[in-house]
Amino acid sequence: MKLSLKVEYACQVLAQLGYTVNSPELPHIDDLAGAESIPSNYLVQILNELRTAGLINSKRGKQGGYALARKPSEISLYDIVKAVEGEVLAHSSAGDGASSKKTSQIWGKVAIDFENLLKSHTVEDCMSSASEDMWYI
């Protein structure tokens, strides 16, 4: 299993929007793309999915831009994965083999545990603090 780059970018851009929660100006797509080193044409797709899922709001025009729809502490990694990927950890039953039922139960439990872990982390957790960004010599 591999976390998609799309999910990583979605987390990064939401963290970037978290920094601007109390700012009077909304960041534009070019600002977000530059700050997180994400290609702007790919970021447009991600932002549309996040908006459709209700995680961000957008405003058109000169004073427009993007903003979080909720506080950074209220948007979980689970919300992000669901918005971008749809399924968090999908598994299918292998069929009627001797171990099929037990194997399917285990994967079902793993999926639930993974979902709970994702729900325990938020956009706020993805935001670096000023002390983490400092370099010491």
* Residue ranges of domains in the chain, CATH in brackets: 5-133 (1.10.10.10)
Query: Both tokens of residue 47?
Result: 């932002």
pLDDT at 99 over 90: no
Strand 56-59 vs strand 65-68: parallel, antiparallel, or unpaired?
Answer: antiparallel
Q: Is the pLDDT score of 40 beyond 60?
A: yes
- Return the closest-CA partner of residue 2 out of 95, 89, 111: 89
Compare 25 and 56 and report the one with higher pLDDT.
Answer: 56
Give the pLDDT confidence score for residue 94 in this predicted structure: 65
Average pLDDT over residues 90-94: 70
pLDDT at residue 131 in the model: 45
- Is residue 116's pLDDT more than 80? yes
Residue 71 has pLDDT above 90, yes or no: yes
Question: At 6, is the pLDDT very low, low, confident or very high (cuts 50, 70, 90)?
Answer: very high
